[in-house]
């Protein structure tokens, strides 16, 4: 068993083999679309080959529950045959309780198994999966996998039922032998929205629980990632802020649905009722606004301003020798008041990000947003300037934290 450190330049292709599943999780993203229908063999192989044509080196076979497909092993072999270097499946793990089946999948070319495990307690586990016997089979599958020469990781979706004991769950899994975790925030989609009252929790109030769980992983030299956890929650573990480039994959996976909805003038069914609960809300709003403005003449983004921000941010954080006088006659755009000398604050202007093309391009729009994400810690809520200040670059926060910000 080993760990795999995900690299952003590892281009990944996702293929859903089926929407059918042998669990019925309360927060399943595919909850509204579940069926007992498998895609045709031709269609699945066509989808697998599409990733190779797009220069992807990794493939994730998912579902529903991919492992229950009668042709699952064949799709692993086919993925290896057409040229994928790394083959992963995301699973509830129940099928892997059969060790012979697991061995056959590994022989076919499976490189990594990511188990969805959301509690160490049988009662909570099976309340979440809504399936009896799931606890015993999943943990047997996990123990089987940990005994093999294969990468094993774990997804944990935070929710009201498991958040108070998340540190105990991770400690239990570390003791079993797991060395890689992806801690994920609940999203208001699929079955989760149907069960929202049962699952929703105030993440700011549980901030210490999340940071404690991350610290536990670090203290045990365990690989840990976060997924869709708000940036401001992680001020004590700023290096665990999700790489914003992963937003590109989020939109790419929904691109056809988003374009279809934009053209129908209705956008996604979750908008705007669920936005306040969603990690993607700001990106979605920017996409909508950009789409509406795309046929109008828009002023292009001022690259010079972006460069100025970068230099000023560098000046105040790294104490470089650049002299303030060099910038004295310039205007400063979207820079936090607290990192500027008081005599220069009147030169700060705050502007919203705008789309700079006449024709709408969803992926270009997404990349612009990613390049200009600004973030603030929770402590900024009480600052006099909070209502207009946008914070600092998310990449700067991920690298150096929020200590440079001194709310007033």
Ordered per-residue pLDDT tens for the chain, 408 residues:
444 444 456 788 999 999 899 999 999 987 665 556 778 999 999 999 999 998 999 999 998 999 999 999 999 999 999 999 999 999 999 999 999 999 999 999 999 999 999 999 999 999 999 999 999 999 999 999 999 999 999 999 999 999 999 999 999 999 999 999 999 999 999 999 999 999 999 999 999 999 999 999 999 999 999 999 999 999 899 999 999 998 988 888 788 888 888 888 777 888 899 999 999 999 999 999 999 888 554 433 333 333 333 333 443 333 333 344 444 455 677 889 898 888 778 878 878 888 888 889 999 999 999 999 999 999 999 999 898 898 999 999 999 999 989 998
276 by Cβ neighbours in 10 Å (0-12 / 13-18 / 19+) ranks as exposed
* CA 111 to the chain's CA centroid: 22
Check: CB of residue 339 under 8 Å from CB of residue 402. no
Check: CB of residue 23 under 8 Å from CB of residue 129. yes
Check: CB of residue 376 under 8 Å from CB of residue 405. yes
Structure tokens at 50: 């599409």
The count of C-alpha atoms lying within 13 angstroms of the C-alpha of 34, restricted to the half-sphere facing its C-beta, is 17
Mapped onto helix, strand or coil, the DSSP state of residue 224 is strand
Judging by DSSP bridges, how do beta strands 374-375 and 392-393 pair with one another? antiparallel
Q: What is the pLDDT of residue 312?
A: 38
Q: What is the pLDDT of residue 329?
A: 53
Per-residue DSSP letters for 270-295?
A: TTTTTGGG-TTHHHHHHHHHHHHHTT
- Backbone dihedral angles phi then psi of residue 114, each to the nearest 5 degrees: -105, 115
Map out the domains of the chain with their CATH numbers. Answer: 12-229 (3.20.20.70), 275-400 (no CATH)
- Helix count (H) and strand count (E) of the chain? 14, 11
CA atoms of 207 and 72, how far apart (whole Å): 39
Q: What is the pLDDT of residue 308?
A: 34
CA atoms of 290 and 363, how far apart (whole Å): 12
pTM, two decimals, is 0.87
Q: What is the pLDDT of residue 339?
A: 87
Whose CA is closest to 113, among 58, 154, 59, 70? Answer: 154
Q: What is the pLDDT of residue 257?
A: 83
Cα-Cα-Cα-Cα torsion 186, 189, 192, 195, nearest 10 degrees, comes to 130
Q: What is the pLDDT of residue 282?
A: 94
Give, for 62, the enclosing helix (H) or strand (E): strand 58-62
CA atoms of 388 and 327, how far apart (whole Å): 22
Check: CB of residue 247 under 8 Å from CB of residue 366. yes
Q: What is the pLDDT of residue 358?
A: 84
């Amino acid at each position: 068993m080993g760990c795999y450190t995900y690299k952003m330049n590892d281009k990944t292709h996702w293929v859903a083999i089926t929407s059918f599943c042998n669990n019925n999780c309360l927060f399943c993203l595919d909850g509204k679309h579940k069926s007992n229908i498998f895609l045709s063999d031709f269609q699945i192989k066509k989808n697998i080959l599409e990733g190779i044509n797009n220069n992807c080196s990794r493939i994730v076979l998912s579902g529903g529950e991919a492992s229950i497909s009668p042709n699952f092993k064949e799709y692993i072999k086919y993925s290896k045959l057409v040229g994928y270097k790394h083959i992963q499946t995301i699973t509830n793990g129940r099928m892997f309780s059969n060790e012979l089946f697991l061995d056959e999948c590994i022989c076919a070319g499976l490189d990594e198994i990511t188990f969805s495990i959301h509690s160490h307690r049988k009662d909570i586990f099976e309340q979440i999966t809504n399936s009896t016997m799931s606890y015993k089979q999943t943990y047997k599958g996990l123990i089987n996998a940990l005994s093999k020469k294969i990468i094993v990781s774990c997804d944990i979706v935070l929710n009201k039922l498991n958040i108070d004991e998340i540190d105990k769950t991770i400690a239990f899994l570390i003791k079993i032998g797991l060395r890689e975790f992806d801690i994920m925030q609940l999203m208001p989609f699929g079955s989760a929205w149907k069960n929202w009252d049962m699952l929703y929790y105030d993440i700011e109030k549980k901030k210490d629980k999340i940071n404690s769980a991350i610290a536990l992983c670090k203290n045990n030299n365990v690989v840990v990632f976060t997924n869709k956890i708000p940036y401001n929650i992680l001020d004590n573990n700023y290096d665990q802020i999700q790489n914003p480039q992963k937003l590109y994959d989020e939109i790419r996976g929904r691109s056809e649905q988003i374009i279809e909805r934009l053209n129908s003038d209705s956008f996604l069914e979750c908008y705007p009722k669920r936005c306040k609960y969603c990690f993607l809300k700001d990106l979605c709003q920017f996409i909508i606004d950009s789409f509406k403005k795309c046929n109008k003449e828009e002023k292009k983004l001022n690259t010079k301003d972006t460069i100025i921000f970068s230099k000023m941010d560098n000046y105040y954080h790294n104490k470089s020798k650049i002299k303030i006088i060099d910038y004295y006659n310039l205007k400063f755009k979207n820079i936090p008041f607290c990192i500027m000398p008081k005599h220069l604050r009147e030169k700060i202007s705050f502007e919203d990000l705008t789309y700079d093309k006449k024709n709408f391009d969803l992926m270009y729009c997404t990349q612009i947003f990613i390049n200009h994400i600004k973030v603030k810690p929770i402590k900024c809520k009480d600052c006099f300037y909070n209502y207009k200040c946008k914070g600092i670059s998310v990449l700067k926060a991920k690298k150096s934290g929020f200590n440079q910000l001194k709310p007033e």
